[in-house]
Amino acid sequence: MSRRQPRRSIWPPFLYALQGIRTSVREEAHMRFHLFAAALVIVMALLLDIDKNGWLWLIASIVGVLTSEMFNSAIERAVDLATAERHPVAKAAKDIAAGAVLVASLGAAAIGLIVLGPPLWHWLAQR
């Protein structure tokens, strides 16, 4: 006969994830910058009455930037924990993670220009 495994709550992993988000916002200046930029984009999209398709692109790009920033922070901390000395592999890991954030940010900026640019231009032309 098989013994029943004790039922595990789904809440602890969820709470750990929320703690990770909280730590990222509290301790990472770049995360706060990205959240501020995201808030500006959201306000602008609301004011310009962006359609659902535009919102989909904006939300996906915001999530991509925030996620890449959190991975970057996690990689930097793990590398710092693994070695206190300068090492070319540690530097490469940190540089690659930072590069991922740059790629996501540039992509998000392009999406923002494509989605928000025309309605913003139209709004400005009416003034």
Question: Is the domain covering 35-126 a CATH 1.20.1530.20 domain?
Answer: no
Mean pLDDT of 98-126: 97
Please, is 85 exposed, middle or buried when counting C-beta atoms within 10 Å of its C-beta (0-12, 13-18, 19+)? exposed
Mean pLDDT of 58-67: 98
Can you point out the beta strands (E) in 39-82? none
Give the tens place of pLDDT for each residue, 3-44. 777 778 888 899 999 999 999 999 999 999 999 999 999 999
Q: What residues are annotated to the active site? A: 69
User: Model-level pTM?
Assistant: 0.89
What value does the mean pLDDT of the chain take?
95
